[in-house]
Structure 1
């Protein structure tokens, strides 16, 4: 079996057949258990996630029903012995017990990529970061994750995905793939105009491609956007980079730092 939570919730059996939950409350129940895979989730935590602090009078009974239905669903997806969801005195525990889980795989790829990047193995680092990015299939639960814990998880996933994109850009830059990086960052800035790190990376790669004037225009573009949207000036690191480009500081000729 394999669980996938980096996008629409999906359970895949050993034959690769996908199993999808159609009932939103059951989907939320499984997603909440997955977030704490290997740890106990209390009934109170489940109720808080399912009804966001406004539970019905028979919430406890409803949780029992959802868990019973989930056990049947997981049995059809490959948990034939009913071992995945375990009832404990303090709540419920989802055991992966050898099942795959995309969140763990994503974290493993990120760790490996950072290790390769730190050691200067940029091609291997890029492979790891691209493998991580492929696991993110879209917004968590199709963007409907309004429960407190799942909403926080969705925010974490998006931030990790953006960090992974930044790291992949650094790996490409270290490999000298400047034209590819310029195109990628131009698109990312259009999509995330308030993320200053993308402006920083674009300025640096343009400067190293002997396009100093364009690098300076990127800074002024960032300045306009930040002033207009937030009433703020660019962050200190972006201002320092702008000054370094103006003076052709030789430190900019060093490889991009991780």
Structure 2
């Protein structure tokens, strides 16, 4: 099936006379949170390797794109076709090792396809695009401009540190980043002993930023890694509660010592 039936459906939902009252009442601002939610659900389906759910969640995410594009078209700003045209042009521009400027294929062997060289080229092209967008504006472009504030904080921390690294502001050895994490942990402990709540919040933020930086140096997505940790904790906590229940103990009535004993048993069982 092509995209046309979905575009027609969206137009029908937004029809002022016969459409859905809820859909008609929406604005890009009012439905913006749903785009974030649907993107997270796509990622969740990928992590669970649920192919059917991934298909459905990709559809939900595409619906958000079509929804925003329809409202923009109604306001005379741009159309869905403009969205497609813009991303095609951007991908051609950012892949000069694959496409010529007119979109035709680059002959094999005519340019480098080394992955590291391609990554550096991508970064340079994006930097040139940011500089081009800033021309003519009253404020000069900052070195960290363009990193979305709406990103999850951990993901944004990784992107901020990655951007800073393109200017040479970075460690060369992951061991140095580990030392920085330890330093920040000590500063959290010092704030706990002598600081205010605001001091603690700032120092914990520094610690989390350093951990995100460490993940980047190790080639690990910090959001993915934290989600693995979340799932592990959820799995073990649920198993701990089940183990207590077998012994006739409700989680609500268990002492910390009893829970820790059951937790250790769960970890040991997982190890086997």
Q: What is the TM-score when the length of structure 2 is the normalising length?
A: 0.27
If you compute each CA radius of gyration, which structure gives the higher value, 1 or 2?
2
Greater relative contact order (CA < 8 Å, ≥ 6 in sequence):
1
Q: What is the TM-score when the length of structure 1 is the normalising length?
A: 0.28
Higher helix share: 2
Higher strand share: 1
